[in-house]
Amino acid sequence: MEAMRRYADVRKAVEAAAEPLWRKLGPRAANEAAVRPPSPPGAGENRWSLRASPVPLPHVWPPDEVSLLDIPVFAYCISGRIADGERQAAPFMRAVVEVRSGDVVGIEPLAAKFRELGVQGVQPVPAAHWEQIETGILRLREAVAAGALPDAAAAAEIRNGYGAFLRLNGLIAPELEGLQPTFARWLGYSARAPVSP
């Protein structure tokens, strides 16, 4: 099988491709929508930025001959007034990406308006969790590239990796579920009933 581009590099390409739409919808709209009292002196400014999802979604599920991934793009804000969290907004677009090359083949707007979700707590993530998540992403990409459901071992790795990510990112998780509900059901994940540890 042809080697796949590193997912970290794919995310960077997606963020670059998303930048023009972000400039139209993003920082100005974000700051207008997020009406907040001024930050206290020394607290720093609220700066909204875009972020390609740390986990991709399959374009279709079960996989077929269309070897594409969807990578949602959402916004986040580091605020000087929040010590252990970040404000997040709903995905406003998704990039459609060829699974092997990582080339962005399409950009699809998801929202005409900025929609803030709330504050997501942040904490150091153990290396073992990141390894589990990265393995899940790799197995998903392999299944999409093959155009077939993964075998039992790979399916377990996908479910474990995505489950770990969704448990750590409860604010954005229901948004991702809504973008690919068939895949979310296959994972066994629901925003109302998270994957058990």
- The 10s digit of each residue's pLDDT in 112-130 is 777 888 888 887 778 888 9
Position 21 scores a pLDDT of 84
User: Is residue 32 over pLDDT 70?
Assistant: no
pLDDT in tens, 3-13: 678 999 999 99
Beta pairing class for 68-78 and 104-109: unpaired
In the structure, what pLDDT confidence band is assigned to residue 68 with cuts at 50, 70 and 90? Answer: very high
pLDDT classification of 189: cutoffs 50, 70, 90:
confident
User: Using one digit for the tens of pLDDT, what is the confidence trace for 128-154?
Assistant: 889 999 999 999 999 999 999 999 999
pLDDT value, residue 197: 37
pLDDT at 182 over 90: yes
